[in-house]
Amino acid sequence: MCGIVGYIGSKNCVPIILEGLRRLEYRGYDSAGIAVIRDDKFFIQKNAGKVADLAAALGKADGSLFSHVGMGHTRWATHGEPNDVNAHPHWDQKKQIALVHNGIIENYLAIKTKLLRDGHVFLGATDTEVLAHLIGVMFDECGDLATAVRLALSEVQGTYGIVVISPRDPQRIVAARRGSPLLIGVGDGENFVASDASAIVSHTRQVLYLDDGEIADVTCDHVRTMTIEDVDTQKTVHEVTLELSQIERGGFDHFMLKEIHEQPQTIHDAMRGRLLVDEGDVKLGGLQNTLGRLLSARRLILTACGTSWHAALVGEYMLEQIARIPTEVEYASEFRYRDPVINVDDVVLLISQSGETADTLSALRDAKSKGATVLGIVNVVGSSIARESHGGVYVHAGPEIGVASTKAFTSQLTVLALITILLARARGMARERGQVLARELASLPEKVDAVLSDTSTIQQIAREFKDARNFLYLGRGSNFPVALEGALKLKEISYIHAEGYPAAEMKHGPIALIDRNMPVVFIVPRDGIYEKVISNIQEVRARKGRIIAVANEDDSEIDKMAEFVIRVPHTYGFFGPILNIIPLQLLAYYMAVERGTNVDQPRNLAKSVTVE
């Protein structure tokens, strides 16, 4: 969600913090700010808008600003509208405490009411400002910044990743985490705090990941970590393998387009060293210790949010029809609140690009508390879901900067296909059958590359329909989730209303919307239900809907029925979504470009949603 960068050391922290904030812009935000300590006083600048606006304001305010300690923040509004006042950092001017915060303080109103009675004055409407004042009260009582933070957080309910500084203790940064990711970058005579390694990777690759309920007391040459109960914790230093080239556009106009075109490689990376084509089998080291529980599971439950939920729906088709394991799919945001019946012989697979999605992480903890085996399918190494699961599989898509997920989705589908083959073979599927599936899966990167080689038809469609107000996406079987995902992509970045439906369900309501102004996208591969989808296409034609078809290269019949046809290579049915989503990602991208929207940072969206 929001972005945090902090620095303490011998260098000027201002350019380091601004660089880090720019690298976090992809996460989505509506305001940005910075707080530094110089001459034993705060200098704070914050603005609604972009990091560039903040940098310009800093230049006007004090172009020679120099400080050895400071912090910055990009905000995505939760409490209080996005404006200059509600932007972070927040501070208690009287007690000289400033902090930046990712997350939500759920009991802030009760705390604020008490502080108001005690004479505190608040400038904005955020929960974060309340926490700054509470820490100030504790600092007055104990005289130690780290202790003050620890005592204040013992009264807090909610989620947070916070960084705190004070001119009353100018050689220290205090950071704490509960439910919102935070890491410490370890340098030589300098240390960093960040919500994402991409913010600091140009300065250090040595990081400590804070766990929930941990606090870090950071000086320029020392890091102490402890629990809220003041028990020291021992942390392992991890080496970040992220390369700067992975978080730069590399000649593409947008990160999203770059990431769409990276998919032949990222799909290959998801399979590399795991898919054993000659044996018709799969090896997944992250599942080795839990394979027995997977094979004896009464049922599998896949839970996720957004795009990852669509991947889970495809996984349900794969796992039930190939591995023959009863499988259910749940919205993580609803899962824990309906008190689901979970048994010790259930296995819950949690899918999340970031590994920090608050709803999915809550579902993990709920299922784990009820005795289920929990497994993560995530992209970010060292993320909370990865660390709290009993096992799992990384999708190896690399950093995904565009807010609208593309390559992570196809990598998730690839990993789900690998898990399906692994379980099917372990449950008795013949080697020859496994070889057929493995060969086809191995061929997908080349086939995706073929789809990406010619986007002229998709660009023509985007020009034709850029002013449309509604779209309908229809598919059947495992391509129904593709229709959902295609519609979501269009909504996210072009701001056109779009809905995905099972094609057969169209006649049970949505058909009322069909007229000559309604573009309808059909995913219609030549598979076992091809003729059924053709019948649905005829129903739309009869009502003069404008038909766009995603169809196989060898399908000559579709040209007679569709106004536009986007061609994709043929593949085995349950791998089809990996290919069929590619043109729909491109369609959403080119529609957004035609409409002039912010492709990589669509309004109101954040890359990693770390609040419930």
482-493 pLDDT tens trace: 999 999 999 999
- pTM score: 0.74
User: And the tokens for 169?
Assistant: 């203790």
How do beta strands 327-331 and 346-352 pair?
unpaired
Where does 3-243 sit in CATH, by number?
3.60.20.10
User: Residue 609 has what pLDDT?
Assistant: 53
Its CATH architecture, for the domain 249-452, is 3-Layer(aba) Sandwich (3.40)
Choose the catalytic residue: 50, 95, 112, 607.
607
- Has residue 102 got a pLDDT over 50? yes
Measure the CA dihedral 597/601/607/609, to 10°.
-80
User: What residues form DSSP beta bridges with 46?
Assistant: 33
- pLDDT band at 527; cut points 50, 70, 90: confident
Residue type, 49: G
Average pLDDT of the chain is: 89
Name which of 375, 322, 307 is nearest 347 in CA terms: 375
Six-digit token pair at 395?
A: 């999708």
- Report the C-alpha gap between 555 and 570 in whole angstroms: 10
Indicate the pairing of strand 497-502 with strand 470-475.
Answer: parallel
3-243 and 249-452: identical CATH topology = no
Structure letter (DSSP) for residue 305: -
CA angle (389 as vertex; 408, 401 as ends), nearest 5 = 25
Q: 562: helix, coil or strand?
A: coil
- Reported as a pLDDT band with limits 50, 70 and 90, residue 174 is very high
- pLDDT beyond 70 at 612: no
pLDDT in tens, 329-376: 999 999 978 888 999 999 999 999 988 888 999 999 999 999 999 999
- If you average pLDDT over residues 442-450, what whole number do you get? 96
Indicate the SS3 state at residue 390.
Answer: coil
Domain range 454-600, its CATH number among 3.40.50.300, 3.30.420.40, 3.10.129.10, 3.40.50.10490: 3.40.50.10490
The CA distance from 196 to 208, in Å, is: 12
Strand-by-strand arrangement of the 183-186 sheet: 41-48, 31-38, 69-75, 3-8, 191-194, 183-186, 206-209, 238-239
Which tens digit of pLDDT belongs to each residue from 181-191? 899 999 999 99
Q: Does position 607 have pLDDT exceeding 80, yes or no?
A: no
**Is residue 606 predicted with pLDDT exceeding 60?**
no
Query: pLDDT over 70 for what percent of the chain?
Result: 94
Q: pLDDT per residue over 310-321, tens digit each?
A: 999 999 999 999
Strands 173-178 and 183-186: unpaired
Q: Rounded to the nearest 10 degrees, how much is the dihedral formed by the CA atoms of 528, 532, 537, 542?
A: 160
Question: pLDDT confidence of 608, banded at 50, 70, 90?
Answer: low
Among 2, 13, 220, 305, the active-site one is 2
Q: At what angle do helices 108-117 and 127-142 cross, to 10 degrees?
A: 60
d(CA 308, CA 210): 25
> Domain coordinates of the chain in residue numbers?
3-243, 249-452, 454-600
pLDDT at residue 235 is higher than 50: yes
**Interior angle at CA 412, CA 104 and CA 408, nearest 5:** 65
- For 427, the token pair is 């449950």
pLDDT single digits (tens) 493-519 = 999 999 999 887 777 877 777 888 889
- Classify burial at 291, counting beta carbons within 10 Å of its beta carbon; exposed 0-12, middle 13-18, buried 19 or more: middle
Give the β-pairing of 31-38 and 41-48. antiparallel
* Statement: residue 610 has pLDDT above 50: no
Tokens representing 587 are 């369609």
Question: Which has the minimum average pLDDT: 21-30, 319-328, 568-577?
Answer: 21-30
The pair of three-digit structure tokens given for residue 388, joined into one six-digit string: 């709290």
Per-residue confidence (pLDDT) for residue 81, from 0 to 100: 64
Q: Residue 62: pLDDT above 80?
A: no
pLDDT tens figures, 111-145: 999 999 999 998 887 788 899 999 999 999 999 99
Question: What residues contact residue 115 under an 8 Å CB cut-off, 6+ apart?
Answer: 122, 130, 133, 134, 137
Residue 283 structure tokens: 């090896």
And the tokens for 497? 């209303």
Give the H/E segment covering residue 148.
Answer: helix 145-153
Q: How far apart are CA 29 and CA 49, in angstroms?
A: 8
Whole-number CA gyration radius for the chain: 26
Q: How many other C-beta atoms can be found within 10 angstroms of the C-beta atom of residue 248?
A: 13
pLDDT of residue 611: 47
* 220 noted as active-site residue: no
Q: Identify the pLDDT of residue 404.
A: 87
Provide the token pair at 26: 């992809």
| Coil/strand/helix, residue 176 | strand
Nearest to 610 by CA among 315, 273, 361: 361
C-alpha separations of 32 from 46, 238, 560, 572, 609 in Å = 6, 29, 53, 48, 18
Tell which wins on pLDDT, 33 or 316: 316
**CA torsion, ordered 583, 584, 590, 594, to nearest 10 deg:** 140
305 is catalytic: no
Residues 329, 310 contacting (CB under 8 angstroms): no
Residue scoring higher pLDDT (472 or 528): 472
Q: How many other CB atoms are there within 10 angstroms of residue 250's CB atom?
A: 11
Residues 6 or more apart whose Cβ sits within 8 Å of residue 597: 493, 494, 495, 603
Which of 62-76, 166-180, 240-254, 561-575 is least confident?
240-254
